[in-house]
Structure 1
Amino acid sequence: MRYSPYSLLVLLMVGLSTALAQSSATPAIPSPKEHFGFNIGDDYQLATYTQTEAYFRKIAAASDRVKLVDIGMTEEGRHQLMLIISSPENLKKLDRYKEISQKLARAENLSDEQAHALANEGKAIVWIDGGLHASETVGTHQLIETIWQLVSRKDPETMRILNDDILLMTHANPDGQELVTNWYMREPKAEKRVLDNLPRLYQKYIGHDNNRDFFIMNMKETQNIGRQLFVEWIPQIMYNHHQRGPAGSVLAGPPYRDPFNYVFDPLMITGIDALGAAMINRLNSENKPGFTRLGGSVFSTWYNGGLRTTTHFHNMIGLLTEIIGGPTPEDIPVVAKYLIPNGNTPFPVLPQKWHFKQSIDYSVSLNYAVMGYAARYRDEVLFNIYRMGKNSIERGSKDTWGLSPKKIDAITHTFQTDPKKPAVPTNAALAQYGFVPRGGGIPTKYYDTIMKAPTLRDPRGFIIPANQPDFATAAKFINALVRTGIQIQQATADFTVAGKKYPAGSYVVKTDQAFRPHVLDMFEPQDHPNDFQYPGGPPVRPYDAAGWTLAYLMNVKFDRILDNFDGPFKKLPYGELQSPEGHVNGAPSAGYVLSAKANNSFIAVNDLLASGVDVFRLPNGTGGKSTVESGAFFVPASAKAKSLLDKSAKDLGLEVTGISKKPTASMIKVSPMKIALWDTYGGSMPSGWVRWLMEQYHFPMKVIYPGDIDAGDLRKKYDVIVFVTRAIPAVGGREEDIFSALEREPKEETTPAEYKSRLGKITAAKSIPQLKTFMEAGGTVVTIGTSTNLAYHLGLPVKNALTEMTNTGTERPLPGEKYYIPGSVLRVSLDSTQHATWGLGQQTDVYFDASPVFKLAPEAIAKGTVVPLAWFDTNKPLRSGWAWGQSYLQDGVAAFMAPVGSGKFYAFGPEITFRAQAQGTFKFLFNQLYNTGKSGSQGNDVVSED
């Protein structure tokens, strides 16, 4: 066919317009160099989150391999993004693949045959994140580079990964990346750029502790991530990037050192082994040395609460690597133990100059190892998460006895104390190595006495009664479970189990569900083994906490049910948060009473005070026949009070009691205090947590710094000053050690003007005299943890209860071989007549982390110069975790109050606000944040009502 010149021109125009249309519809995928102006991994170069977000949006618009998902807002108001990457065909069927992943992970009403069919149909879901700890800059930048490679490469390995995997590439801390990069890049001369001395925490409020928030999920970023991990996608594999690797290595990775948590399914542990082998093999095949594992690092799989570790309790293969490197080149030092090839470090790295690009390349290789494993063993990883879930359901449906050190010790003790025990052949020479000769060991009947004892069975479930004193906090605990994907049931009517009646609205959490390990971990005590470097030697520090049972820390009342049970229960949809509605009960013609036992009462009271409504406290309850406890709040009736309390009761889940007669007991008028909270340059995580919870509970406060204290005139500005742990130095101690665990205080001349006021530290010479003057003038100081050191600076008649006399007659702290309690839950007894303990009862659980314990001089108590508030009245106060030598605690004082002039000093040794998890002890702090008439600038009076 022949075309005229005009026809040819028309065809040319049509073809050109089509090409232009296609070009505009699918823009070219920009490389990192084209977008950022540098290659990812170039020395002295970092990207901001603003740049990264724009890059992710460009990629999503340009690539048919990407779907961009905004998973929520951050604490500072940025969009937190997740890029779902897979083949275009898979992206069209995401809803189906998500459904398959959920079904297999929850393992409900599936046979093995059905699970195999779903595993064959589904795609492996792999989570890879970056930037959780924003100062660990490899994490964010490896995420950018890996995403670029996945959307641009067309090699067979990448195409297989895209075909068989669905990749959830998630930014873990947008706010932190913005801060860290701007701080680093502020120096115009590249070679002078450093990451040191960040002026504030890189995640609002909590900084590094953002990796300790995943079983309670207080923070917005944690909630965003948790919903994707535990409710929406439930990936079979997740990979959490961190740094730093141990000095002398390049990175630490899986498998990890013992102990691992005893509630895990063994398939999860061996699944980590398999992925760890794939990762180290990949690096070795690419001639990338320096991977250390097992005992080569401090990382274990005992702890819950981290981004990686919480996934372990959900049958996911949770991976962590800690790598060296950063934008400023560094040297790998000579560390002898990492230069000898062994099972921990089979391929040592030699000392050398290390560049950022090397860390990026290692990280991309590790990502490809994980993604490649998932693609090759797609049906296996999908089926295995089902198998683990099915195992959990089966274990929760029958009588089981979980293994733990205490039970094994009980078996041994039962055998050893049996006067009729049979003789056991031994070989003394080999016994020290754990050798048991043939015919040796303990007879099975001793095992059966413990591991088949009916009362020692694992629970079939837990009931959280709706009629407990602080049901709103119990509902917060339930929401922590909901956010972690736990199946919750709720009673639609009153019911009876094991002879006990429960009201409608009570929550039921059964253990016959896929995430049984997490359920047990939140309700049951952790039993950390006695872990020492060698027999009689020093203890091996846990990676984080040793015990953390959240139901204990939140003071949730629950019943542990051993036998199968049922009732009028409805299953709540996965991920559906609970907000029980409270009520105003009774006739409020005289006023209203709010319980001091309910944490949310403090929110309601603060809102009333802010609105100018009178509030009183009842030191002796309401008097008469009423059972209202000491310290309850009374609000006289008024139209404004009614309006505010109607709303507070409904929104906060409070049961407010309306009363027709004013209380006959004495009342103390309450007024807000001018609250100051100590912080330091760079930010204190414990202070950040307290700031967050004060905002949640509507306590107005001001953050102050050491310079503000040293400036004096504190009593004119504040009524109460709160010092969290690590604020007050020890007497005669190295004061600079309190500045930061990782950095020294920056020089004033190199600190930006807006942060200079935060410099300084609490000193014995300048700060302590100002604090003493403040209290003598009527101010209150509250100290927590090691900041109770202030008691010694003030010369109060107290001393350290945890010491011993040496052979030379000198006193020293108890050595670790005799006494060691890392983060654990202990029980203390209380003096409930003190206003400091109102609402707490006779005993409570506290979070104890090598915390101070005091011995009071006898005359101090007799003269009232020191008032004990909490103490250990048993030699076995451990509730959850590890307490070696806990008998030393007996009769030790955990908290006290001491008058100082016209003011008060409070010392709380335990971490009463720990990570905003210890909600059962918030009232230790909250009770001190109101003027109560006996001291303070408001001069409130005790009022007697007829």
Structure 2
Amino acid sequence: MRLLRSCALLAAFAATTTAGLSQSVTSPEKFFGFQLGADRKMARWDKIVDYYAVLEKESGGKMKVINMGPTENGNPFLMVIITSAKNLADIKTIQKNNLTLVHPQNTPEAEIKKIIATGKVVIVQSMSMHATEIGGTQMAPELAYDMISRTDEDTKRILDNVVLIEVPCFNPDGELMVTDWYNKTLGTPYEGSNYPSLYAKYIGHDDNRDALLTSMRESQYMASLLFTDWRPEVYVDHHHMGSYGPRISLPPYAEPSRPYGDPLMWREIAWYGAQMAYKETENGYTGAINNAIYSGWGHFGFHWITPFHNIDGMLTESASAKLATPLYVLPEQLQGNTRGLPKYEEETIFPDPWPGGWWHLRDIVNMQKTAAWAAMDIAARNRETVLYNAYQKAINQTKRGAANPLNEYVIPANQFDPITVNFMIQKLLVQGIDIQKTEKPFTTPDGHYYEAGTFIIPLAQPKMGLIRNLLDKNFFPDNDWTRDKNGDPIRPYDLSTDALNEFMGVRVDHISGPLKVDAKFITEAPTPAGKLEPGKAGYVLSAKLDATFLAVNQLQQKGIKVSRIDADTTGLTKGDFLVTGGAEADLKSIAKETGVDFNPVTAVPSVGTHALKRLHLGLYQRYYGGNVDEGWTRWLLEHFDYDYNNIFDPELKKGDLNAKYDVIILPDDATSTLTGEAAAGGGGRGGGGGYGPNPSEFPAEYRSGFGEEGVKALKDFVQKGGTVITLGQASNFAIDKLGVRARNAIASLPTKQFWCPGSTLKVTVDNSNPLAYGMPSDALALYLQGDPVFDIPSNNSSEKYSVIVSYGKRDILQSGWLVGEGNITGKAAMLSAEMGKGKVVLVGFRTQHRAQTYGTFKLLFNSLVN
């Protein structure tokens, strides 16, 4: 299916010829009016799109530009194919053959040899995923121009042997925002400052992390390109990093590495990286470093997940200027103190340190283009080796999967939330994983019974390493690579686990196979419509399903009465939703869209229910680069059809919040950032681009913090009947400023005593409490280092406090890394506190992290129901 879609897209231009070839190719300087990378100049995305159209016309059949679709803000997302005219004319065959190499199945070896003899290396290079990291998108048009205009032997070799797929801007929306911001501040004291909000509609700097669930359109385009439709041999993702260290970080990654990757992949990444660094030095560019700074176990973003697709996934990280404004760096400001570079001094991986001085955007363009060219050059010179290794990786990983003692992953049809199961299956299919669905019930040799509709994922497939990282328990290494010389843990680049089924609350059984069952491979996950069986008195909807909250919101939008069941009665379960009234056509439409069953009710109980009103929600939003947790929460609310408004400081400080809102959500952030007390460079971890708030960098209208006025307004809001929900670190604000009588039990513990950087932990849930209706009594919660864990000291109002979720007594870690378990055993992870007529709900862990933790969404959703 995916191949057919992609081939159809390409069919219109497969017969491209040299007809209409211009006598010359328009240079970037001529088109834009300046050299790309020039001081204080940035090419805007709309003009870059226009330039690619010009290059395509003048390329002599060597380039095709494809608009993969609109971004979240409706801008074009481009995929640009550059290769020889002969290759482009035969691109469908090249694509088909490449897919056979990386997923050979039972293809005879003789056929594989024929494909390798004529095949081409497919390389994808993407630019400026993070929009303030502007060098890649400024470099890409020049790289394209060079490839179609140069006539030297090196270029001809690359065009003949390589298919380059450029993604000249991974984040077009952000490119436009940042370019316009830069031009707005040019010549002011704020020239070169960071964009004050999220530079993608919802997720800003987290667009890389969306490779896991591909919630955004841009991620979906990239996933289809990398994981299913093309599956390139090589992927290079061009980024920026901090300004006061090496000038460019190149492959390979530093230690530690994730398990289950094919060894050839790690060797090839080192091979490409050595060539990149060599070419930087050969061209006279100093300050390139390999095998440092970025570890092989990072978040499962695009360049870190691709190695487990058997793609040589790599990143370059260039030192940043002040956007397009030069930055002067004193020699004394250059520093190491990072993986592989304890001091800023010469090493074998860093043989020619940059001495300091002026650093320009053009320097970034030059060094990124050198790295991009080097990757293509080495692949072109070693075409058959690269293609054979792609085949070998697929075969080797399949054999390793088959040899694993538990080599079949079974996802039962009978699950707590089957709609979320189907959703997870679809996301695994997006990753290009082979999945079977059973047609009939079956029993395993060891006596386990499974219903029809069970999913089976055989490990004996090329993406074995990816499957094991997503669906196995996995533990971050605790060794010399992950602790400093004092024994303190070194923070992983992101989470210490990406166990998707644990995030989503989905049961996966690992058994010995191969299973001999009646099952078929699927290309799409089932999305059955919800059933609607007429009842005399109405319908009941299960609170176990995340999708039920979507259905309830849609029902309320249509004015249909919905109640909540507060007590178990015959045929009705506490927490479920009762629907009475409404046109049958509306109910059928909602059942079909959401997949939620509307089960019949014969009689409405006279007691034990309460009618729901549609609550008015407010979500706090700030500047200082924006808050990624706010953006993800915003996306989640919209995805589940909640009505909400963003609240900025002026509205919050004005007070009288009860007149407009019933619930106010404070996303993960530090107390000092929320109130505006943060010192320069400090603040919460939610900021876009990793930048802490520094008020002096921003114009006055973009400085955040609601101060004592906002604190008073929130206190008044709660006292008068409102609900404040604090997520993650914002729960410290509830304790520090709102008067919640709790204590963060781990606030003062050094990392040697307590450390848990992005791990799934076992929790106990009081699902008799309305805030946990529909939850299982035992669940998994995603905890990030810095999240609070609560003690409730003895006080005269303990009856007003409820512990909703708590950590277990022992063996708390499910996946990731946990040091000092005893510091949190038996302590509260989520609590509510009644204050006046309202309440404050403190969620210490990450109940909605990156909209990936479906297993705990209900702990937020229940708080949004009266």
Normalised TM-score (structure 1): 0.84
After superposition, residues 31-110 of structure 1 pair within 5 angstroms as 31-63=27-59, 64-110=61-107
User: Are residues 1:852 and 2:788 paired?
Assistant: yes
Tell me, yes or no, if the aligned pair for 1:471 and 1:653 is still in contact at 8 Å. Answer: no
Which has the higher Rg, Structure 1 or Structure 2?
1
Tell me, yes or no, if the aligned pair for 1:393 and 1:511 is still in contact at 8 Å. Answer: yes
After superposition, residues 868-879 of structure 1 pair within 5 angstroms as 868-879=803-814
Closer, same or farther in 2 for the Cα pair 1:700/1:780, shift >3 Å? same
* Mapped partners of 2:704, 2:181: distance in 1: 20
Partner of 2:313: 318
Higher mean Cα deviation, 385-394 or 90-99? 385-394
User: Are residues 1:703 and 2:646 paired?
Assistant: yes
Closer, same or farther in 2 for the Cα pair 1:601/1:750, shift >3 Å? same
After superposition, residues 479-558 of structure 1 pair within 5 angstroms as 479-497=426-444, 498-531=446-479, 532-534=482-484, 537-558=487-508
Partner of 2:546: 599
User: Are residues 1:201 and 2:193 paired?
Assistant: no
Tell me, yes or no, if the aligned pair for 2:658 and 2:717 is still in contact at 8 Å. Answer: yes
The amino acid that maps onto 1:501 is Y
Deviations 1:808-864 (CA, angstroms, capped at 9, x unpaired): xxxxx1111121111111111011110000111102111100210011124468x41
The amino acid that maps onto 1:792 is D
After superposition, residues 66-465 of structure 1 pair within 5 angstroms as 66-170=63-167, 171-187=169-185, 189=187, 194-244=191-241, 247-295=244-292, 297=293, 299-324=294-319, 325=321, 326-334=323-331, 335=334, 337=336, 339-398=344-403, 400=404, 457=405, 459-465=406-412
* Mapped partners of 2:522, 2:330: distance in 1: 55
| Secondary structure in structure 1 of the residue aligned to 2:276 | helix
* Mapped partners of 1:33, 1:344: distance in 2: 35
Closer, same or farther in 2 for the Cα pair 1:65/1:730, shift >3 Å? closer
Deviations 1:716-746 (CA, angstroms, capped at 9, x unpaired): 1110000011053399994354375515455
Tell me, yes or no, if the aligned pair for 1:728 and 1:762 is still in contact at 8 Å. Answer: no
The amino acid that maps onto 2:506 is V
* Mapped partners of 2:414, 2:149: distance in 1: 59
Partner of 1:926: 861
Closer, same or farther in 2 for the Cα pair 1:315/1:22, shift >3 Å? closer
The offset of 1:26, in angstroms, is 4.2
The offset of 1:360, in angstroms, is 1.1
| Secondary structure in structure 1 of the residue aligned to 2:253 | strand
The amino acid that maps onto 1:697 is F
The offset of 1:314, in angstroms, is 0.4
Tell me, yes or no, if the aligned pair for 1:618 and 1:665 is still in contact at 8 Å. Answer: no
* Mapped partners of 1:290, 1:541: distance in 2: 25
* Mapped partners of 1:151, 1:25: distance in 2: 11
Tell me, yes or no, if the aligned pair for 1:248 and 1:333 is still in contact at 8 Å. Answer: no
Equivalent position to 1:658, from 585, 600, 609 = 600
* Mapped partners of 1:557, 1:300: distance in 2: 30
The offset of 1:533, in angstroms, is 3.5
Deviations 1:309-354 (CA, angstroms, capped at 9, x unpaired): 1101101111111102442111244236565221231221112212
Closer, same or farther in 2 for the Cα pair 1:152/1:649, shift >3 Å? same
Partner of 1:685: 628
Deviations 1:209-263 (CA, angstroms, capped at 9, x unpaired): 0011101111110001100101111000000000025623211111111110111
Tell me, yes or no, if the aligned pair for 1:97 and 1:123 is still in contact at 8 Å. Answer: yes
| Secondary structure in structure 1 of the residue aligned to 2:714 | helix
Equivalent position to 1:611, from 537, 558, 571 = 558
Tell me, yes or no, if the aligned pair for 1:629 and 1:839 is still in contact at 8 Å. Answer: no
User: Are residues 1:676 and 2:618 paired?
Assistant: yes
Higher mean Cα deviation, 225-234 or 612-621? 612-621
The offset of 1:930, in angstroms, is 2.0
* Mapped partners of 2:674, 2:591: distance in 1: 47
Closer, same or farther in 2 for the Cα pair 1:228/1:615, shift >3 Å? same
Partner of 1:634: 578
| Secondary structure in structure 2 of the residue aligned to 1:277 | helix
| Secondary structure in structure 2 of the residue aligned to 1:566 | coil
* Aligned sequence identity (%): 30
Higher mean Cα deviation, 389-398 or 326-335? 326-335
Partner of 1:718: 661
The amino acid that maps onto 2:683 is I
| Secondary structure in structure 2 of the residue aligned to 1:504 | coil
| Secondary structure in structure 2 of the residue aligned to 1:313 | helix
The offset of 1:679, in angstroms, is 0.7
Closer, same or farther in 2 for the Cα pair 1:313/1:22, shift >3 Å? closer
Tell me, yes or no, if the aligned pair for 2:250 and 2:317 is still in contact at 8 Å. Answer: yes
Tell me, yes or no, if the aligned pair for 1:530 and 1:884 is still in contact at 8 Å. Answer: no
Partner of 1:648: 590
The offset of 1:663, in angstroms, is 4.2
Which consecutive unaligned segments of at least 5 residues does structure 1 have?
1-20, 401-456, 804-812, 932-946
* Mapped partners of 1:374, 1:270: distance in 2: 14
Tell me, yes or no, if the aligned pair for 2:276 and 2:371 is still in contact at 8 Å. Answer: yes
Root-mean-square deviation (Å): 2.2
| Secondary structure in structure 1 of the residue aligned to 2:729 | helix
Partner of 1:422: none
| Secondary structure in structure 2 of the residue aligned to 1:620 | coil
The amino acid that maps onto 1:647 is S
* Mapped partners of 2:174, 2:490: distance in 1: 32
User: Are residues 1:742 and 2:691 paired?
Assistant: yes
Closer, same or farther in 2 for the Cα pair 1:245/1:780, shift >3 Å? closer
* Mapped partners of 1:75, 1:127: distance in 2: 22
The offset of 1:881, in angstroms, is 0.6
Q: Count how many residue pairs are aligned between Structure 1 and Structure 2.
A: 826
Tell me, yes or no, if the aligned pair for 1:339 and 1:350 is still in contact at 8 Å. Answer: no
User: Are residues 1:588 and 2:584 paired?
Assistant: no
Equivalent position to 1:783, from 712, 718, 726 = 726
Closer, same or farther in 2 for the Cα pair 1:193/1:51, shift >3 Å? farther
* Mapped partners of 2:821, 2:352: distance in 1: 42
| Secondary structure in structure 2 of the residue aligned to 1:655 | coil
* Mapped partners of 1:71, 1:293: distance in 2: 34
Partner of 1:13: none
Higher mean Cα deviation, 83-92 or 193-202? 193-202
User: Are residues 1:792 and 2:736 paired?
Assistant: yes
| Secondary structure in structure 1 of the residue aligned to 2:560 | coil
The amino acid that maps onto 1:680 is R
The amino acid that maps onto 1:777 is K
Closer, same or farther in 2 for the Cα pair 1:192/1:60, shift >3 Å? farther
* Mapped partners of 1:249, 1:512: distance in 2: 42
Tell me, yes or no, if the aligned pair for 2:71 and 2:172 is still in contact at 8 Å. Answer: yes
* Mapped partners of 1:796, 1:22: distance in 2: 73
Tell me, yes or no, if the aligned pair for 2:630 and 2:667 is still in contact at 8 Å. Answer: yes
The amino acid that maps onto 2:381 is R
The amino acid that maps onto 2:472 is E
Closer, same or farther in 2 for the Cα pair 1:241/1:353, shift >3 Å? same
Closer, same or farther in 2 for the Cα pair 1:210/1:534, shift >3 Å? closer
* Mapped partners of 1:93, 1:730: distance in 2: 56
* Mapped partners of 1:731, 1:616: distance in 2: 36
| Secondary structure in structure 2 of the residue aligned to 1:52 | helix
